[in-house]
Structure 1
Amino acid sequence: MSLLRNPARRELSATLVLAHGAGAPMDSPFMDDMALRLADRGISVVRFEFPYMAMRREDGKRRPPNPQKQLLECWRQVYAQVRAEVPGKLAIGGKSMGGRMASLLADELGADALVCLGYPFYAAGKPEKPRVAHLAELRTPSLIVQGERDALGDRPTVEGYALSPVIHLHWLAAADHDLKPLKASGLTHEQHLESAAARIEAFLLP
C-alpha cells in the first residue's frame, strides 16, 4: 500500500491517518493543505488511496468508489500497516466518504480517536435518509468539523440527530462541504481551514 506522509514538524505527539473523499485523490489541494497545517502543529499525517482512486492515478480514468466492503478492508490494511510502524496515539479519519468509512471501523480497530472533515450525514438532496445509526453507538472519541450549510449535513438537520456523547461537533459559520464560507459572511476559506486545524490539534493533543 502506497502511503503519503507528512511528518510532524515539531515533537511528535500523535499520528492521523487521513482518507480522501469520493471524488478527489489523497493529494488534492484540500488534503495537502490540511496535512501541512497539522504537521506544523505536531501531528504526523499519513494518507492513502482507496483502490478505485489508485487505479485512476495509473490510467486517468474516473471511477465510482469501490463497494463499501472493499473500502473498509482497505482501511483495515492501512491501519494495521501504520499501527505497526508508529508509536503513541493513532487517530483515523478523513474527508467526507473517507471519514465516514473510518467512523464505521473506529471501534473495531481500537483507534485512539476519529477525525472527520465534512461528514456526509446523508446523500445530497436526501436528508430523509440519514447515515447516522452507527454514530449513536460510537465509543471512540470523535471530532467532526462541519460547515453550517454543508449540503450533506447542515447544522439544523444534524442537531436533530441522536449522536453518541463521545462525538464533538465543531461548526464553521456559513461553510459548505469543503469548509468554504460564503463571501458575504466576511470569513475566508483560509480562516476556516486554520480553525479546523487548531481544533484538531486541541482534540488530539490535549
Structure 2
Amino acid sequence: MAITDDLSIQQNFVDGAIATLIFAHGAGANMDSVFMTEFTQLLNERHINVIRFNFPYMQQRLIDGKRRPPSKMDVLKESYINRIKQHSPELPLFIGGKSMGSRVAAMVADEDKVSGVICIGYPFHPQKKPEKLRLEPLQNTDRPVVIVQGDRDALGNKTEINDYGLANNIHVYFVEDGDHDLKPRVKSGFTHLQHKITAANLIKSFIEEQSKC
C-alpha cells in the first residue's frame, strides 16, 4: 500500500500491477464504504492498482459529522481532474467509480493520461425518473467505456439501457438480477460476492484489452 499524507485519498498498490484505476465513490457512501473497500481488494487481487478518494463534500462530512448533499457537478469534476493531474502514471491509467463517481469520471474522460473509463452501476437516470436521462457524459467521449450494471438497477435497468442506442465505444455488461449495488435477490441463486467477482473479472479483461491499444 502506498502512503499519503492526504486523508482524503487511499492508494492501494500491488506488485506486478498491470494498470492503475482512480476509483470514485457514489453520492452517499465514502471511499471506505464496504463496497468500495471490498471491490478494491478484488481489483488488487487482479493486479490492478487502485486510488480511492473522497470528494470534498464527503471529506467535510467525515470531519464535522454533518450530512450534506453532493457538491455541484462542476465542483465534483474539478476534484476528479485534480486527482488525475496529481498522478504521474508509469502504468496505463483508467478512471471510474461507483454510481455518481462513474458519472463524474465519464465527464472528465477526455483528460490527458486517461486510457478508459470504468463504471459500476452507472446512474442513467434518477430513481423513478426514467425520462431524466444522463447519457450526455457517455455520448461526449470517444474513450472506451465499460459499464457493469445490475439488470434490475433502479437507475437504469437492462430493458431501458438496451433501448438507448449507445455508441460502439460503450460496452455494457449485466449481472443477473443485480440491483444498483450489483446485489441479487436470494431467489436468483447468485450471491453478491459472485457478482462482484464477475465485475472485477470484466474490468480486468477490459483493462488488458485497452492496454494493448
Q: How does the TM-score come out when normalised to structure 1?
A: 0.95
Match of 2:173 in 1: 170
Q: How far is the alpha carbon of 1:133 from its aligned partner?
A: 2.6
Alignment deviations for residues 30-81 of structure 1 (CA, whole Å, 9 cap, x no partner): 0000000001110000011111100011011110000111000001101101
Q: CA deviation at 1:109?
A: 4.0
Q: Which amino acid aligns with 1:122?
A: H
CA distance in 2 between partners of 1:134 and 1:22 (Å): 17
For the residues of structure 2 that align with 1:109 and 1:76, how far apart are their CA atoms?
A: 10
Which residues of structure 1 form unaligned runs of 5+?
A: none
Amino acid aligned to 1:201:
K
Segments of structure 2 that go 5 or more residues without pairing to the other structure are 1-5
Aligned partner of 1:156 among 154, 159, 179: 159
Identity over aligned pairs, percent = 45
- Residues 128-160 of structure 1 show CA distances to partners (whole Å, capped at 9, x for unaligned) of 111103323421111000000000000000111
- Normalised to the residue count of structure 2, the TM-score between the two structures is 0.92
Q: Does residue 1:49 correspond to 2:57, yes or no?
A: no
Structure 2 residue 21 is matched with structure 1 residue 16 = yes
Between the aligned partners of 1:70 and 1:109, the Cα distance in structure 2 is 19
Q: In the alignment, does 2:119 pair up with 1:122?
A: no
5 Å-filtered alignment, 1:136-151, equals 136-151=139-154
The CA RMSD measured in Å over matched residues stands at 1.1
Within 5 A, what are the aligned runs for 1:19-34? Answer: 19-34=24-39
One-letter amino acid matched to 1:5: Q
- How many corresponding residue pairs? 203
Give the Cα separation in 2 of the matches to 1:52 and 1:192. Answer: 30
